[in-house]
Amino acid sequence: MKKYRRILIAIPIILIVLVVIPFLIPMSSYIAKAEQAASDALGVPVKIGGLRVALLPTPRLNVSDVVVGKDEDFTVEDVAVVPAIFSLFSDVKTISSLKVKRPVIKKSALEIISALGKGDEPASEPASVTIREISISKARLVWPDMELPELNVDILMTPENKPESAQIATVDNKVKIDLIPEEGRQLITMTARGWTLPVGVPLLIDKLDSEMVLVDSRLDIQKLDIELYEGKVSTNAVLSWQKNWELNGKLNVAGVEVAKPVSMVSKSTQLSGKLSGDGSYKASAKEPAKLMDQLYANFRFKVLNGVLDGVDLAKAATLLGSKGGMEGQTRFDTLTGVLNVAGKQYHLRNLDIVSGLLKASGDVKIKPNKELDGEVKVEVKKGATLAAIPLQVSGTTEKPMVFPTKAAMAGAAAGTAILGPGVGTSLGIQAADKIKGLFGSDKDE
């Protein structure tokens, strides 16, 4: 009984000793040497806040508060180096795991990383230290104009200290990425569930599945299938960054309800309906965050059973008044057209709107400052079909304005005065539209 009592008393004493002893080992003398060695290897200043040997839960060396670069380009809260015990007695030392906690990587750190290994010849002898696994928790990338989530990363290494496989996941596990090296390339699979895009319009992704191949400075996105807002989006693309960042791809959309995405872009003018279409896109920029600003796209689309809020085309065409159509909504069975994107400028071409009461066609440009510029011809059915009324589209995406063109107003007044309302008005508008076609638009007057 006394024997067991001694053991029970000894266990907490041993644990206390294991915890306290590392703090009694003077490690401060090694910090300066470690900083100098790291600075020489990286070519930039390195600061280390502390070094500590711990024996629990397993023997390890803890390196804390690491700062790399003059502008704190790369910082780490804590690094735990856990050795394989039996390898300490062999020529080749093995690190069972390298645990990195809360690293923060700025964009400027890429220059430091890219400089590593330049000009070095391949090692002719095996490494004296091998790493089995690298585990990174709560990594944060600080990138201009981008809000990226914190990541957890697990990397399995080969005996040659090369990545054998890697798993990357957001801290909330909504996004998971698997990387597997294969004959000079990386096979990448990506899944996402209930994830909001961190770049651009904050779209909510219900489900995402992707297959990609990375070779040198080229990413081949072979498949990217997304389910969102009751529909599906599929794309394949190639992204390269040998000199500039280059993106080329094709896009297909099927049955996406556009009300929510459009409301994120414009709070006043909103569009509802099911969107389908296909097209191609390309972009080139010096920085990845600038790709969307340099996007060029050609997309043919169709929206079914929708409503365009903020504009009443039928009212604008029938009243021929100064404020016709500035309020209300336009219901339609189909809205078709072609969207051309050139950087921050959008051009809606070959627009065709059809409903039980009206038919409209035209072209509208959306300038980088969100101003609207275009013309739409509207036919409203009231018994017999009236003439197509040309409407000038102006204002902004937040506050659109639709008025009959000056030529239409002048023609309507002249036709009404000569032949009377109704037929005279209609003929006057048609004549004015033809004359405008010969001599230019309202802007040329």
Of the pLDDT bands very low, low, confident and very high (cuts 50, 70, 90), residue 25 is low
Q: What are 353-376's pLDDT values in tens digits? A: 998 878 899 999 999 988 999 988
162-193: pLDDT as tens digits:
788 899 999 999 999 999 988 888 899 999 99
Over 70: is that where the pLDDT of 425 sits? no
**Residues 279 and 317 reside in one and the same domain:** no
Do residue 253 and residue 353 come from a single domain? no
Q: Is residue 74 part of a domain?
A: yes
Burial class (CB in 10 A: 0-12, 13-18, 19+), 352: middle
pLDDT > 90? residue 128: no
User: Is residue 382 located within the same domain as residue 356?
Assistant: yes
Q: Quote the number of domains for the chain.
A: 4
The residue among 2 and 287 whose pLDDT is bigger is 287
Q: Which of 50-59, 314-323, 330-339 has the highest mean pLDDT?
A: 330-339
In three-state form (DSSP H/G/I as H, E/B as E, the rest C), the secondary structure along the chain is CHHHHHHHHHHHHHHHHHHHHHHHCCCHHHHHHHHHHHHHHHCCCEEEEEEEEECCCCCEEEEEEEEECCCCCEEEEEEEEEECHHHHHCCCEEEEEEEEEEEEEECCHHHHHHHCCCCCCCCCCCCCEEECEEEEEEEEEEECCECCCCEEEEEEECCCCCEEEEEEEECCCCEEEEEEEECCEEEEEEEEEEEECCCCCCCEEEEEEEEEEEECCEEEEEEEEEEECCEEEEEEEEEECCCCEEEEEEEEEEEEECHHHHHHHCCCCCEEEEEEEEEEEEEEECCHHHCHHHEEEEEEEEEEEEEEECCCHHHHHHHCCCCCCCCCEEEEEEEEEEEEEECCEEEEEEEEEECCCEEEEEEEEECCCCEEEEEEEEEEEECEECCCEEEEEEEECCCEEEEECHHHHHHHHHHHHHHCCCHHHHHHHHHHHHHHHHHCCHHHC
Tell me the mean pLDDT in the region 242-265. 91
Contact in structure between 355 and 332 (CB atoms under 8 Å) = yes
**Do residues 321 and 368 both lie within one domain?**
yes
Q: Stretch 135-156: mean pLDDT, rounded? A: 88
Residue 283 lies in a domain: yes
Residues 435 and 319 in one domain: no
Q: What is the pLDDT of residue 295?
A: 93
Same domain, 258 and 187: yes
Same domain, 375 and 439: no
Tokens standing for 430?
Answer: 């048609």
Mean pLDDT of 132-154: 88
In a domain, 11, yes or no: no
Pair (52, 148) in one structural domain: yes
Question: What mean pLDDT is reported for the chain?
Answer: 79
Question: Confidence class of residue 415 from pLDDT cuts 50, 70 and 90?
Answer: very low
CB neighbourhood size of 210 (10 A) = 18
Do residue 317 and residue 381 come from a single domain? yes
**89 within a domain of the structure (yes/no):** yes
20, part of any domain: no
Q: Do 179 and 161 fall within a single domain?
A: no
pLDDT score at 102: 93
Domain of residue 431, residue span: 405-445
Over residues 276-325, the pLDDT tens digits come to 999 999 999 988 878 888 999 999 999 999 998 878 887 776 665 555 55
160 and 38 belong to one structural domain: yes
Q: Does residue 426 form part of some domain?
A: yes
| Residue 417 domain flag | yes
264 and 322 both lie in a single domain: no
Residue 8 phi/psi, 5-degree rounding, is: -65, -35
